Amino acid sequence: MDYSKEPRRDILCIDVTSFFASVESVRLGLHPLASYVVVMSKADQDGGLVLAAAPRVKKEYGIKTGSRRYEIPKHSFIQIVEPHMTLYLKVNAMINAIFLEFVAETDLHLYSIDESFLDVTASHALYGSTKEIALKIQTTIWQRLRLFVTIGIGDNPLMAKLALDNAAKKEKNGIAEWHYKDVPETLWKIQPITEMWGIGSRTASNLYRLGIDSVYDLSQYSVHSLKKIHGTIGEQLFYHAHGIDQSIISQKYTPLSRSFGKSQILDRDYIDAYEIEVVIREMADQVAARLRNHHAQTGMIHLTIRFSGEILDKGFNQQLKIFPTSSSQKIIETCLFLFRKHYNNEPVRQLAISCGKIHYQSDLQLDLFESAEQTISREELEKVIDRIRFKYGYTSLVHASSLTSGGTAIKRSGLVSGHQG
């Protein structure tokens, strides 16, 4: 394939090695690459979930993100710590500040809390070659924060990401470069095909049925056939198999539509329907507030209920179309209707509420089953509640039911990403 017409940028994809575990290691005065730290949520329970494990723990014990408390060997060197989400966010902000010493804000894309893309094309006059910039960033983060980062270098974000995931993390210095000219010796050698960024087990299964079981096979398949079978995704997979990615970091596209929803794993099995409804009310109220904050409305409510792990029946997923709304009352009523219709008195451990058919308000929409005065009065009341909560916190105004034993909103209001700060 002729790469001469493809846009070439100098891209870095930077990952903080085992971010949560590394931050905890530094907090404890330990070297992040030599410690045996595991960050675990609900460590006092056998089902406690591993959020991050230091590199040595992964290598020597096979413990990784998603492992459970009971899988950790007793009498091992492993040191279990509770997550400190506020600290992780603070450190993340410090890392981002370092990035902005080397690139403009428009050339920085924050992919996740521990991974970012930097376009250093315009930074050479100040900081040298792409490799030199990568080394300077890596050294600066180590000197200031004692955190080790791995870096993939590429001609576009895709190649940088692939270099990071498939090569940099295996290099002693944590840096690897993949360019268009290297595709036959790098990208096409990725095995298995699920190691290719963007190809999960489901996509891989579809490709296997076409006789494609390697990235090289994918690159040699007919792009027209792939597009005919898998649509735009098939075409994208073909070009990705050649290392082609035409995205420009500074030309970010921010979609108007976004996800509005909330999920929660309960601290215990809830067997009382009233207690479950209390949590549903709290969650639906918070989802509605988010919709109003973004001047959005939903025309579809989706409720997911997951039963206790001890129950063979896993739960249910149900959805219902509604007149577009952002009303807490309407969304709560819909969620409760779905719950009461499908709940069969099993112990509940997890709940989720999500919204579909999102559109953004320009004018007030009146419900045919509600008078204009009622709609306006309800919206004004909810706006007042939103303003009070924004200024004084969510718990400044809660429903009386949230004060009962089943309520979780007050307790969770002090958490960050579902964990203690």
Cα-Cα-Cα-Cα torsion 50, 55, 59, 63, nearest 10 degrees, comes to: 0
In the block, residue with structure tokens 């692939």: 162
Pairing of strands 115-119, 108-112: antiparallel
Q: What is the 3-state secondary structure (H, E, C) of 361-385?
A: CCCCCCCCCCCHHHHHHHHHHHHHH
CA distance 146 to 138: 10
How is residue 135 annotated by DSSP? Answer: H
* Alpha carbon separation from 9 to 118, 155, 166, 168 (Å, rounded): 10, 5, 20, 19
Among candidate residues 115, 177, 275, 277, the one labeled active-site is 115
CA distance 361 to 128: 49
Let me know how many helices (H) and strands (E) the chain has, helices first. 14, 15
How is residue 48 annotated by DSSP? Answer: P
Q: Is-catalytic flag, 115? A: yes
Strand partners, 87: none
* Alpha carbon separation from 124 to 191, 251, 317, 366 (Å, rounded): 34, 20, 53, 57
Packing angle of the helix pair 232-240, 201-208 (nearest 10 deg): 90
How is residue 184 annotated by DSSP? Answer: G
For residue 58, which of 15, 112, 21, 85 has the smallest C-alpha distance? 21
Catalytic residues, which ones? 115
